[in-house]
Amino acid sequence: MSRWPAAAAVLAALLAAAAVADSALPVLRAGVVPFVLLCLTTLLATGSGRALAGHLGLTDLSESQKTLIGATLGLGLLALGTFALGALGLFKPWAASALLAALWLAGYAELRPALESLTPDRSLLESRPLAAAAIALPLALALWACLMPPHQYDSLVYHMALPQDYLLAGRLRAPEGLLFAHFPQNGEMLFTLALLAGSDVLAQMFVWLAFALSIAWLFALGRREAPLSAVLLACFLTATHAALLLTASTTYVEPIVMLWVTAGALSFERWRQVPAARGWLVLSAAFIGLALGTKYYAGLGAVALGLRLSWRAARAEDRRAALADLLLFTGIVTVLFAPWLVKNWVLVRNPVFPFLYKHFANTGTGWHGDAAAGYFRVLTEYGHAEGWLRSLLKLPVLLLRNPLRFGGGMDVLGDLGWTLLLGAVPLGVWSARENGFRRGLLVFCGLWAVGWFSSGVVLRFLTVLVPLLALTGAAGLVKLSERLDGAGRAVLAGAVAAMTAVNLFLVLFVHAVFGTPSVLLGLETREDFLARRLDYYPCAAAARGLPGPSGRILVVGEQRGYYLGREHLPSSVHAPNLWVRLAEEAASPADLAGRLAEAGFSHVLFVPKESARLGAALGTFTAKGQANWDGLESQLEVVAKARGCLIAAVEPKP
């Protein structure tokens, strides 16, 4: 190469770097350090995961498949390792560093092969560049959206609030008034690790990583069971599914559950092809156990595979071996789920809280029968008002014409983008007649769907099946396309393109409603966005700057306490609120202020608009309690006030 072309290339690179630094870097700066941390932690976890998988005796794996399995197992090791730190009271940055160092030592020999296996598939890029770009672009956009500060309702109520509370205490504990603290939390353990590293953006990137790895599992194992065009279409359908694109940049844990469910189901079907390779069954059980340790509803997957193993054992000639497989699967799932059962038993004396609350009355959560019943009414508010059979018959129409019937509020994120995927299910059934692997995936999805439909019908809980349904549906679409002439294929392709465009439109629409483009394009700061979106945020920022040591903050009317960043008691619609009880017990407003001080509160944060929205769900006063509450503000000293909130010191005015 002569000198002047080389110099021109270097100059072009410098100009490109200058352009990025001048325009894009100010917007992307918030994600640079979190992305580096994501790569580092993922690499260390992948090395240890590869080392662990190496003991399973699987000999038919490529290096890239070993890395994929290692990364998926590695995320589980990160979650369980962080849980161990919390159980030992070691939620400290140095302890998190020690955990990563231990993973580095455990997987040191596998780090180089893992890095070398990440080389892009050149043959695919050369033969299907448009397909590769169509899959990569939505993933890139979802990663970009991770730069938004967490602002979704459930994220601020518990997905991020719980890790923050644990770090304030330095250990796992049962925060008062937050019943979600007793759900399985493998996902929240990853978020805790992210907060230990100082970044809630990293927490969202962990969710994005699970989304990307789910697609990688489709590609890695799907190529054995479907034409390449069908596998690429399946990856594309998953990458452009509206519900997944929206949740992949949040701290909602559905994509994490989806990763482990997808890996578990695919591993199970691979084991069915080679029963002698028990390592695949072990992997399946490990992934399903990790999923169950993230969300209770992943138990549907454990039950589905357990039923299939039981059916196999009932029909097997070698019943002892088949029963051994069933026991192996059940044992691994139970062991990986057990930490959360033990934690709940130690903290609230109910291993499966909030379930079976009638049998574990002394939960230590402040729950009583009416509150528990009310929670489960909310959980099943999208149930079968017209009866189970009538709802089943109307299900296809409702899914296509009224998906919001299956989730309101922030659950609406899971209601979007199902038309193409569910419309392809019959084609998937048709094409799977000739392929036992895909047929097994449909059986798994069918068993899951029966449990989902019977138990609450929040459509967001079905998003974990998207990759599996995409693989079977894409195979059916490709098979149908092969049976059509040119005009028919054009019509089919146009229909798929139109429904995909609708999905992407829905994603853009939701982001516009949230107002996220203003931050992602650098038109608005993180602080300005949060102050505009959350009434309590200006007072939360003021609370973080209160001088000197102080007690807890009582939050009145707001459940989303994450941005307070200090000890607080949020309001709750699922359990009795302390401030209601104290107002009823107090003899006067002054006595109420004194009782708040005795309870350890130094400040009260009032959020009137949200309090009015939640209304009676927060609790109701008698005339005496109302009088005490109305007079409370006169006993307090206002220290900060904004358009939508007020924070006052509990000490009576001088």
- For residue 409, the model assigns a pLDDT of 65
**Closest of 287, 289, 268 to residue 335, by C-alpha:** 289
Contacts of 484 (CB under 8 A, 6+ apart): 491, 492
- Say how many Å lie between the first and final Cα of the chain, rounded: 82
Alpha carbon 336 to its chain's center: 18
Q: 0.85 exceeded by the pTM?
A: yes
- For residue 383, the model assigns a pLDDT of 65
**Closest of 653, 581, 654, 594 to residue 624, by C-alpha:** 581
- For residue 347, the model assigns a pLDDT of 86
Cβ atoms within 10 Å of 233's Cβ, excluding its own: 25
**Closest of 495, 509, 502, 511 to residue 240, by C-alpha:** 502
* Residue 653: strand, helix, or coil: coil
**Which sign, positive or negative, has the C-alpha torsion 414, 416, 422, 424?**
negative
- For residue 68, the model assigns a pLDDT of 97
Q: How far apart are alpha carbons 445 and 187 in whole angstroms? A: 23
For the record, the structure tokens of 384 come out as 């079968």
The model's pLDDT over 480-491, given as tens digits with 9 standing for 90+, comes to 999 999 899 999
Residues of the chain where predicted confidence (pLDDT) is lower than 50? none
- For residue 166, the model assigns a pLDDT of 96
Token pair 């790569």 is found at: 39
Amino acid (one-letter) located at 501: A
- For residue 382, the model assigns a pLDDT of 61
* Residue 451: strand, helix, or coil: helix
- For residue 405, the model assigns a pLDDT of 64
Given a contact cutoff of 8 angstroms between Cβ atoms, the answer to whether 350 and 344 are in contact is: yes
- For residue 372, the model assigns a pLDDT of 60
- For residue 381, the model assigns a pLDDT of 58
Peptide bond into 113 cis (omega under 30): no
* Residue 128: strand, helix, or coil: coil
Beta-sheet pairing, 568-569 with 601-606: unpaired
**Which sign, positive or negative, has the C-alpha torsion 543, 549, 553, 559?**
positive
- For residue 367, the model assigns a pLDDT of 60
For the record, the structure tokens of 208 come out as 């994005």
The model's pLDDT over 286-301, given as tens digits with 9 standing for 90+, comes to 999 999 999 999 999 9
Q: How far apart are alpha carbons 517 and 97 in whole angstroms? A: 35
